């Protein structure tokens, strides 16, 4: 066989291919045996790869499983056998199998196109027949009616959505798994766990009231879980009591429902036909085999939050780099131990790519093992979570694409970590190694220069981008600064090595050793650096946020624990419902005080017979005396009540419930009794008057400035949330009249969420009932509470944490930083112990004390951790400042905490290295 | 037919200026098929440098080094590696074998690296192991072999497949005299079977197994100036067969 190109010594393509195959066969064989021989090190690397992979897999699997509408959720929505679920809209629509931007919206029936749903209607029978005509021949329609019912067991009542269908149909029955009992037959109903929490249980007899007022009694036959599409439905048997509507009206709430049973799938074409007939379809076939997007113009890209994505990308990138720095030294240990074997391979004709392949194969195998374990771990964690919160994660679904990508990233992580040792091994001088001498270290200057420049540039970019509120720039700055510092680490270490001549011999030894073996020192310094930078940036940001949060005054709208029951925005009560409401309050809040009607001032309007008449509201704004001063306008809180509270001051309990501070109660009551507006001094002029802008809230101007009598009840600049309260005596002057704006109840403690939920349920059942145009809100004044989440990740990242959580977060950051920094330091120190063995033997031979070894190892740990901490501290503070500026917070560096961290890491690393060396546990094991 | 090794005017200088060290000063040396040449000399005389340059592990500062007709002094690392896979085998004092490979895999290593199919490489390696009498140890790892057996495996690897030049650097240095004798006897036998050998040794007893001996001192062939291949010492061949 002639494997050379004729006339040359060059191999043919076939030979080159066989050489490459032979190279990797050998590399993988050596790697496999190396991992078996050094299982401890292999497991350590695999674990370091597995942890980030497990985290990523967990997040992706959880997100995928949490997706509300996706193929694997078909069973949750359609059970094991239904072909489709159809909901009548009453007019032709265009549906998309999944949501797709603002043109599409999620309403009671699924994703529908907003402008497709117009106020149309059609007879129920006609719609049902039209749908039946569009179905495949082998399928049948099973009617299911939806409606709102009121359940009353004599002790309490609740409003619920009800579904009435034929549970004798096996596929329909399978759609509603039963937790306890059985599906309803004649004279029975099934309820959800939620109803049981409210007091209904198996065997209870309840009165079922329909919207038309008809009632029937039924026995609770079963408990069913919440469902993905109807939350907490009451299930009714086919026999009633719901009856089909005459008309199906779009924009309604209780769309009629049908289930499709049979063998034929409902295809996308069928779905479009049924859409045209006036119904929305959730089809198993479509969910499992989605059609191509019907509207290519509407894509998610318009909704991508690039700022949030850039922050995520930066965090992931820095996190992966941290993992690389932590894993790298472990490979370097292996490479160092295998130096002679690699040299022997070279002697026998292995070129540099083969030597690199030998080391990379180790990364490949450990990375693959670690990644597989990590993916398995992540999926298992999601499975456990799904057991704990089945409502949120109804079905475990594996995102194959993302999981594969994560797996590959894990493998790549290990291969990239193995690359520097592989490169060094391939470049090592064979003769030097075979002679038992240490390879010479080349020290190019360009990485230091480029790295330092990038570090400075990155820090400047981060701070400037932060000040300009440019999240992408901040993220880029963070990454560039980190990479630059890491690149410059080698030069910094070398510089310190050169200036070590005045130090004691242990420090001199450690610094020069670090400089000489930069290959293992730099990853360790980088690991400490990144961990410290992250921690310092986090602490800086959270400290600034703390200042903002603590500096932001909290304005309660009532005294703590007070419960308000109000109408929707701008509505007042048409009649006094205090008697009925008092009974509900007594049931839900047994310790509460009396119900306090809340009078508000409104502009008289024509008679309105609706249960929640909407009046023209009186918008009253008190201007500060000094328009240029720091004090702002005072207005009634329209988010709470439909107008300024009006009283003559005699009801001290009402004033107290409104949250007027105790020290101002007398003054406020006196002012109101005197017909004056109670105000802080900043809003009352020298003549005892206040300038008030009066206008009708919903109408356009005229706006009128009025001068009204006022009385001082607070110091300048003091804000009392519910001021101004309007004295009854001024109503006539303003052309207003009192109306019932809501009710207040003072509770000695903040009601629990269960109490609030119970009161809301009872209020809905007793006061709202089937009135679809009325809503009653139960609200509780809880005092200062955690900040609410934001709609973007960036927002949620910058959402203020609670005072309670802040110390825990700070501690978690500090502990994570300490852990990562120590891991990085110790791995390098362990490697250094291997390299320094001949030197230490020499030292012992020339009479160094037995403690010399410990002192050297401790000094090496100190060298790495001090350099990493110092650089990380500087970078972290700069990045933290950028992040803080991005969030428009004032810059506040927590010097005490970051200094403590910067001191604690080196001290811990040094002390622990000293201790471990003496005990000969970790370091000696690594050396074997 | 190409001569297995032909070195002409080979010099090697390490360092610069005050640190300049002349490891080799104009060496001429030829090793023909069926010839075993011993190299002797004090420490630092350039013996190992000579061997490294001859095997392409290192490059000379000047001169030519022809291995099987290829001047490896003018070739890059990749081509020199190819020469080591096909034409040259090394045997060192100890730790000759890759610990993670069995004896057979160690012998097959240069063939596999050169792209030979695994089955064929294995066949050639078995033949080479059989020639050194260690076929039964084919599947053992180096740690399960004695020092002498390891050196025999190394000799088998040095001459596996098409390789015809073995460069041995103190191959008996870590062995007792009985085992050392056996290893040298094996080396001699392999050379007699058609290979060529360059043997670096401190021990005149082992040098006596060579066809001729070259003495090095300070990078020069003793008894001859630059350009000498020790031809004047050919008479040392009279030592040949002293023990044979």
Q: Which residues of A touch B78 (CB under 8 A)?
A: 351-352
Beta bridge partners, A692, equal A622, A706
pLDDT of A839-874, one tens digit each? 777 776 676 777 777 888 888 888 888 988 888 888
Distances (CA, A) of A902 to A529, A824, A881, A909: 11, 15, 18, 11
Nearest to B62 by CA among B24, B99, B118, B104: B24
CA atoms within 13 A on the CB side of A254: 22
Tell me the per-residue pLDDT of B118-143, one tens digit each, with 9 for 90 and over.
889 999 999 989 988 889 999 999 98
Closest CA to A830 of A524, A529, A506: A524
pLDDT beyond 70 at A443: no
Its sign, for the CA torsion B46, B47, B52, B55, is: positive
User: Residue B233 pLDDT more than 50?
Assistant: no
> Closest Cα of chain B to A340: distance in Å?
8
What number of residues does chain A have? 928
Structural domain spans, chain A: 1-79+308-440, 90-277, 447-554+798-928, 563-780
What is the pLDDT at residue A753? 82
- A430–B114 C-beta distance less than 8 A: no
Contact criterion met (CB < 8 Å) for B109 and A15: no
- A16 to chain B, any CB pair closer than 8 A? The answer is yes
The answer to whether A189 and A182 are in contact (CB under 8 A) is no
Give me A295's structure tokens: 């509207």
pLDDT-based confidence at residue A474 (cuts at 50, 70, 90):
confident
**Chain center to CA of A587:** 36
Q: Given an 8 Å threshold on Cβ–Cβ distance, is B90 in contact with A347? A: yes
CB contact under 8 A, A22 and B112: yes
Q: What integer pLDDT is reported at residue A438 of this predicted model? A: 66
In this structure, are residues A91 and A278 in contact, taking their beta carbons and an 8 Å threshold?
yes
pLDDT band at A286 (very low <50, low <70, confident <90, very high): confident
Beta-bridge partners for A216? A208
CB contact under 8 A, A19 and B113: yes
Residue B223 backbone class (left: φ over 0; alpha: ψ -120 to 50; beta: rest): left
B14 has a pLDDT exceeding 80: yes
d(CA B233, CA B241): 16
- Chain A interface disruption, residue of B21, B49, B99, B150, most A CBs within 10 A: B99
Residue A629: both structure tokens together: 């001063």
Query: pLDDT per residue over A388-416, tens digit each?
Result: 777 667 678 888 888 999 999 999 989 98
CB count, 10 Å around CB of B185?
13
CB contact under 8 A, B98 and A19: no
Q: Is the pLDDT of residue A927 over 50?
A: no
* Distance (Å, whole) CA A782 – CA A506: 61
Query: Average pLDDT in the A467-480 region?
Result: 82
In CATH terms, the fold of domain B5-239 is: Rossmann fold (3.40.50)
* A 308-347 near B (Cβ less than 8 A): 340-341, 344-347
What is the total residue count of chain B? 244
A470, pLDDT greater than 70: yes
Q: Which residue of A has its CA nearest to B114?
A: A19
**Tell me: the pLDDT tens digits for A606-655?**
445 555 555 667 788 888 888 776 666 777 777 777 778 888 888 888 88
Across the interface, whether the CB atoms of A349 and B92 are under 8 A apart is answered no
CA–CA separation, B56 and A349 (whole Å): 10
The yes-or-no verdict on residue A723 having pLDDT over 60 is yes
Residue A373 has pLDDT above 60, yes or no: yes
The residue with greater pLDDT, B74 or B39, is B39
User: What is d(CA A292, CA A301) in angstroms, rounded to the nearest whole number?
Assistant: 17
Instruction: Assess contact for A530 and A325: CB atoms under 8 A.
Output: yes
Identify the pLDDT of residue A295. 42
| Number of other CB atoms surrounding residue B154 within 10 Å | 28
- Neighbour count for residue A454 (Cβ, 10 Å): 21
Contact A344 B100 (CB under 8 A): no
User: What band does A785 get if pLDDT is binned at 50, 70 and 90?
Assistant: low
What integer best gives the mean pLDDT of chain B?
A: 84
- What are the tokens at A124? 């129920």
| A615-627 tens-digit pLDDT | 667 788 888 888 7
Q: Is the peptide bond before A681 cis (omega within 30 degrees of 0)?
A: no
Nearest by CB to residue A349, choosing from B81, B92, B96, is B81
Query: Taking an 8 Å Cβ-Cβ cutoff, which residues of chain B contact chain A?
Result: 48, 52, 55, 57-58, 70, 77-79, 81-86, 89-90, 92, 95-101, 105, 109-110, 112-118, 157
Q: Which of A511, A126, A460, A90 is nearest to A279 (CA)?
A: A90
Structure tokens at A693: 């802008």
Is the predicted pLDDT of residue A799 greater than 60, yes or no?
Answer: no
């Amino acid at each position: 066989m002639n494997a050379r190109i004729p006339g040359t010594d060059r191999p043919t393509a076939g030979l080159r291919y066989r050489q490459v195959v032979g190279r990797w066969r050998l590399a993988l064989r050596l790697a496999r045996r190396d991992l078996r021989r050094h299982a401890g090190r292999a497991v350590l690397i695999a674990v370091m790869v597995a942890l980030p992979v497990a985290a990523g897999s967990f997040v992706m699997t959880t997100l995928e499983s949490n997706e509300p509408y996706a193929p694997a959720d078909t069973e949750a929505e359609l059970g094991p056998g239904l072909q489709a679920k159809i909901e009548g809209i009453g007019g032709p629509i265009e549906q998309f199998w999944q949501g797709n931007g603002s043109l599409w919206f999620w309403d009671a029936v699924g994703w529908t196109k907003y402008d497709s749903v117009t106020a149309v209607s059609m007879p129920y029978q006609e719609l049902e027949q039209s749908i039946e005509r569009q179905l495949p021949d082998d399928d049948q329609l099973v009617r299911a009616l939806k409606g709102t019912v009121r359940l009353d067991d004599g002790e309490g009542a609740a409003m619920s959505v009800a579904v009435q269908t034929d549970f004798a149909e096996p596929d329909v029955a399978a759609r509603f798994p039963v937790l306890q009992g059985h599906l309803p037959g004649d004279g029975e109903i099934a309820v959800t766990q939620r109803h049981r929490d409210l007091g209904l249980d198996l065997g209870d007899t309840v009165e079922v009231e329909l919207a038309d007022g008809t009632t029937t009694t039924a026995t609770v036959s079963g408990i069913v879980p919440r469902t993905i599409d109807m939350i907490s439905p009451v299930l009714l048997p086919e026999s009633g009591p719901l009856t089909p509507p005459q008309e199906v009206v779009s924009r309604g709430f209780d769309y009629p429902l049908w289930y499709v049973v049979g063998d034929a799938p409902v295809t996308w074409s069928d779905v479009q036909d049924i859409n045209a007939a006036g119904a929305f379809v959730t089809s198993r076939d479509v969910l499992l085999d989605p059609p191509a997007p019907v509207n290519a113009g509407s894509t998610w890209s318009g909704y991508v939050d690039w700022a949030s994505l850039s922050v995520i990308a930066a965090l992931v990138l820095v996190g992966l780099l941290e993992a690389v720095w932590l894993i790298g030294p472990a490979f370097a240990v292996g490479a160092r131990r295998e130096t002679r074997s690699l040299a022997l391979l070279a002697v026998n004709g292995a070129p540099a790519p083969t030597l690199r392949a030998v080391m990379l194969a180790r990364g490949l195998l450990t990375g693959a093992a670690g990644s597989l374990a990590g993916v398995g771990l992540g999926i298992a964690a999601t499975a456990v979570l799904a057991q704990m919160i089945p409502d949120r994660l109804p079905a475990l679904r594996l995102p194959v694409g993302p999981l594969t990508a994560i797996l590959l990233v894990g493998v790549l992580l290990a291969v990239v970590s193995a690359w520097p040792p592989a490169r060094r091994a391939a470049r090592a001088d064979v003769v030097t190694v075979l002679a038992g001498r240490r390879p010479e270290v080349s020290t190019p200057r360009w990485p230091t220069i480029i790295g330092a420049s990038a570090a400075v540039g990155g820090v400047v970019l981060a701070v400037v981008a932060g000040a300009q509120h440019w999240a992408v720039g901040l993220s880029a700055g963070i990454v560039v600064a980190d990479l630059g510092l890491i690149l410059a680490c080698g030069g910094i270490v070398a510089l310190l090595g050169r200036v070590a001549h005045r130090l004691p011999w242990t420090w001199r030894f450690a610094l020069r050793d670090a400089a000489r073996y930069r290959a293992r020192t730099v990853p360790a310094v980088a690991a400490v650096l990144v961990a410290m930078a992250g921690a310092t940036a986090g602490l800086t940001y959270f400290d600034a946020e703390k200042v903002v949060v603590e500096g932001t005054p909290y304005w309660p709208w009532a005294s703590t624990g007070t419960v308000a029951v109000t109408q929707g925005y701008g509505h007042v009560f048409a009649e006094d419902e205090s008697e009925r409401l008092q009974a509900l309050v007594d049931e839900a809040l047994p310790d509460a005080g009396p119900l306090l009607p809340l009078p508000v001032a409104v502009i008289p309007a024509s008679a309105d017979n609706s249960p929640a008449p909407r009046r023209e509201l009186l918008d009253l704004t008190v201007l500060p005396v000094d328009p240029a001063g720091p004090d702002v306008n005072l207005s009634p809180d329209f988010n709470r009540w439909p107008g300024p509270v009006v009283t003559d001051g005699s009801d001290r309990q009402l004033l107290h419930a409104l949250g007027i501070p105790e020290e101002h109660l007398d003054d406020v009551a006196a002012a109101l009794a005197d017909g004056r507006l109670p105000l802080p001094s900043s809003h009352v002029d020298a003549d005892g008057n206040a300038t008030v802008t009066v206008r009708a809230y919903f109408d356009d101007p005229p706006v009128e400035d009025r001068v009204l009598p006022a009385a001082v009840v607070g110091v300048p600049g003091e804000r009392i949330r519910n001021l101004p309260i309007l004295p009854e005596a001024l109503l006539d002057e303003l052309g207003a009249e009192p109306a019932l704006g809501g009710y207040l109840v003072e509770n000695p403690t903040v009601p629990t969420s269960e109490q609030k939920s119970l009161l809301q349920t009872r209020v809905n059942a007793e006061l709202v009932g089937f009135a679809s145009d009325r809503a009653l809100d139960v609200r509780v004044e809880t005092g200062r509470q955690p900040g609410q989440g934001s709609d973007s990740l960036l927002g949620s990242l910058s959402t203020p944490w609670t005072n309670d959580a802040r110390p825990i977060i700070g501690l978690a950051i500090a502990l994570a930083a300490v852990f990562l920094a120590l891991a990085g330091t110790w791995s390098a120190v362990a490697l250094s112990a291997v390299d320094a063995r001949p030197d230490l033997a020499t030292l012992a031979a020339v009479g160094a004390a037995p403690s010399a070894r410990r002192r050297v190892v401790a000094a090496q740990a100190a060298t790495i951790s001090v350099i990493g901490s110092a650089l990380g501290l500087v970078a972290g503070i700069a990045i933290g400042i950028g992040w803080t500026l991005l969030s428009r917070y004032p810059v506040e560096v927590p010097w005490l905490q970051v200094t403590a961290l910067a001191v604690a890491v080196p001290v811990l690393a040094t002390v622990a290295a000293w201790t471990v060396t003496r005990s000969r546990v970790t370091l000696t094991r690594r050396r074997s | 037919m190409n001569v297995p090794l032909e070195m002409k005017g080979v010099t090697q200088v390490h360092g610069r200026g005050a640190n300049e060290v002349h490891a080799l000063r104009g060496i001429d040396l030829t090793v023909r098929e069926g010839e075993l040449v011993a190299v002797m000399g004090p420490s630092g005389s350039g013996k190992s440098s000579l061997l490294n340059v001859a095997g392409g592990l290192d490059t000379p500062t000047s001169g030519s080094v022809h291995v099987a007709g290829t001047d490896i002094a003018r070739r890059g690392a990749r081509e020199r590696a190819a020469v080591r896979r096909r034409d040259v085998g090394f045997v060192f004092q100890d730790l000759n074998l890759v610990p993670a490979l069995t004896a057979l895999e160690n012998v097959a290593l240069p063939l596999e690296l050169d792209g030979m199919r695994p089955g064929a490489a294995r066949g050639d390696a078995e033949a080479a192991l059989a020639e050194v009498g260690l076929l039964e140890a084919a599947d053992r790892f180096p740690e399960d072999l004695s020092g002498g057996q390891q050196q025999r495996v190394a000799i088998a690897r040095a001459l596996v497949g098409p390789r015809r030049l073995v460069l041995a650097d103190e191959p008996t240095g870590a062995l007792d005299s009985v085992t050392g004798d056996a290893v040298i006897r094996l080396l001699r036998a392999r050379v007699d079977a058609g290979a060529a050998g360059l043997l670096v040794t401190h021990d005149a007893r082992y040098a006596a197994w060579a066809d001729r001996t070259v003495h090095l001192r300070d990078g020069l062939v003793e008894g001859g100036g630059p350009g000498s291949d020790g031809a004047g010492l050919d008479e040392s061949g009279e030592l040949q067969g002293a023990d044979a």
